[in-house]
C-alpha cells in the first residue's frame, strides 16, 4: 500500500470514473483541466497528493487531446510527488498500430506507451487490448482486464441476444480466441468469418466456417470503429440463413458513419460497455450498454492493497 487511495479523471470519461469511485466508496479527486484559445491544455491537482496512491482514469480515444491530457496529468502527478501513479486506460487508442506491417509506418502503440511511462506512469491498467502484445512494450507492471465477466453476466440473465441454439461468431481469425471463450462459457457452437481487408476500415467477407443456417448468431469482438466490417458481416450471415444477428463488443468507438450504418443494418441488438463515453448524438436504439466500472474498481482496490488481481483478468472463467 502506497499512501491514501485517490482516483482522478481526465475529461474523456468522467462518468465511468464516478461509477468506479462509487464502488470504492470514495469521492473523485479534484482536478482542473482548461483549454486555452489556441488549443493548449493546462491541468492542476486541486488537492495535496504527496505520497498518495494515485489512479488516473482516462480513455485515449479521439479527440487526440485525450492522450495529451493524460500525459500532462501524469507529469503533474509526478512533479507533485505522488507516492505511486497508475494510468487507468479503459480504452487504449492506437492499439491497432502495434506492428510495422508495411514500409515507412510508425509503431504508434509502442510510441504512446513509451510517452505514458516517461510522463510518470508507474503502473498501467487497460481493458481488452486490440493486441495483447502491447503489454510487452513497457517495463512497468501492466494489468490487462477483460470485459467478459460483465458481458457474460448480462447475456446469461437475458434471452434477448442468446438462447440455447445461438452460434457465437468470430468476425476474423484474430478474434477466434475471444469468441471461443464465450462459446465455451455459454456452452454454444462457434463459427468463424474468413475475411479479407481491402483498406483501412474496410474488409470483404470471403467465407463462413461453421453452420449458422437457421440459427440466431452473436458476433463477438473487442471493438467497432466505423462499423463497416460489422455491418457487412451481419449482412452476409443473414444472407446465409441466420435468423437473427446480434453483436457484443467492448469498445464502442463508433466513429464517422457507424451509427447510421448500424441503424440501417440487419443487426437487431448490440451490447457494448462504457469504456468509451458516447455522447447523445452517438446514441442508437439498437445499442445496450453495460458498465465495467466494478471490474476496474476491484482492480484498483486490489492493487492499492497489494493483493493479486489475476482473478480479474482470467478470460477463461
pLDDT of 304 over the 60 cut: yes
pLDDT of 195 over the 90 cut: no
Average pLDDT (55-65) is 92
Instruction: Tell me the domains of the chain and their CATH numbers.
Output: 5-146+293-312 (3.40.50.2020), 148-290 (3.40.50.2020)
Catalytic residue list contains 195? yes
DSSP letter (8 states) at residue 310: G
Instruction: Give the integer Cα–Cα distance in Å for 27 and 103.
Output: 48
Instruction: Give the integer Cα–Cα distance in Å for 285 and 204.
Output: 26
- What is the gyration radius of the CA atoms in the chain, in angstroms? 20
Contact (CB, 8 A) for 107 and 100:
yes
Phi, psi for 19 (deg, rounded to 5): -65, -40
Instruction: Exactly one of 6, 148, 195, 215 is catalytic; name it.
Output: 195
Residue 121: what pLDDT? 98
pTM of the model: 0.93
User: Length of the chain, please?
Assistant: 317
Tell me the three cell numbers of residue 17: 470514473
Residue 126: what pLDDT? 96
Instruction: Give the integer Cα–Cα distance in Å for 314 and 164.
Output: 25
Q: What is the pLDDT of residues 240-266, one digit of tens each?
A: 999 999 999 999 999 999 999 999 999
Q: What is the pLDDT of residues 160-190, one digit of tens each?
A: 899 999 999 998 888 899 999 999 999 999 9
Residue 205: what pLDDT? 58
Residue 315: what pLDDT? 46
Instruction: Give the integer Cα–Cα distance in Å for 74 and 67.
Output: 11
Amino acid at each position: 500500500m502506497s499512501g491514501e487511495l485517490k482516483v482522478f479523471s481526465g475529461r474523456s470519461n468522467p462518468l465511468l470514473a464516478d461509477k468506479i469511485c462509487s464502488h470504492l466508496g470514495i469521492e473523485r479527486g479534484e482536478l482542473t483541466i482548461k483549454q486555452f484559445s489556441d488549443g493548449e491544455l493546462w491541468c492542476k491537482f486541486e488537492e495535496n497528493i504527496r505520497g498518495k496512491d494515485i489512479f488516473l482514469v482516462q480513455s485515449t480515444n479521439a479527440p487526440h487531446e485525450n492522450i495529451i491530457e493524460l500525459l500532462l496529468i501524469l507529469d503533474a502527478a509526478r512533479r507533485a510527488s505522488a507516492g505511486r501513479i497508475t494510468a487507468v486506460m479503459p480504452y487504449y487508442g492506437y492499439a491497432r498500430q502495434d506492428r510495422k506491417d508495411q514500409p515507412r509506418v510508425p509503431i504508434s502503440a509502442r510510441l504512446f506507451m513509451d510517452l505514458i511511462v516517461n510522463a510518470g506512469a508507474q503502473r498501467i491498467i487497460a481493458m481488452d487490448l486490440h493486441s495483447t502484445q502491447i503489454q510487452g512494450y513497457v517495463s512497468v507492471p501492466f494489468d490487462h482486464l477483460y470485459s467478459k465477466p460483465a458481458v457474460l453476466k448480462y447475456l446469461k440473465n437475458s434471452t434477448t441476444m442468446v438462447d440455447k441454439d445461438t452460434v457465437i461468431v468470430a468476425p476474423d481469425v484474430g478474434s477466434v480466441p475471444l469468441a471461443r471463450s464465450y462459446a465455451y462459457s455459454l456452452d454454444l457452437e462457434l463459427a468463424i468469418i474468413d475475411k479479407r481487408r481491402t483498406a483501412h476500415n474496410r474488409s470483404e467477407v470471403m467465407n463462413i466456417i461453421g453452420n449458422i443456417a437457421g440459427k440466431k448468431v452473436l458476433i463477438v469482438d473487442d471493438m467497432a470503429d466505423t462499423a463497416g466490417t460489422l455491418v457487412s458481416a451481419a449482412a452476409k450471415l443473414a444472407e446465409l440463413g441466420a435468423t437473427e444477428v446480434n453483436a457484443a463488443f467492448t469498445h464502442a468507438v463508433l466513429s464517422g458513419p457507424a451509427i447510421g450504418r448500424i441503424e440501417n443494418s440487419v443487426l437487431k441488438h448490440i451490447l457494448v460497455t462504457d469504456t468509451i463515453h458516447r455522447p447523445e448524438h452517438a446514441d442508437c436504439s439498437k445499442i445496450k450498454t453495460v458498465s465495467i466500472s466494478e471490474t476496474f474498481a476491484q482492480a484498483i482496490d486490489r492493487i492499492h492493497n497489494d493483493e493479486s488481481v489475476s482473478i480479474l483478468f482470467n478470460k477463461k472463467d
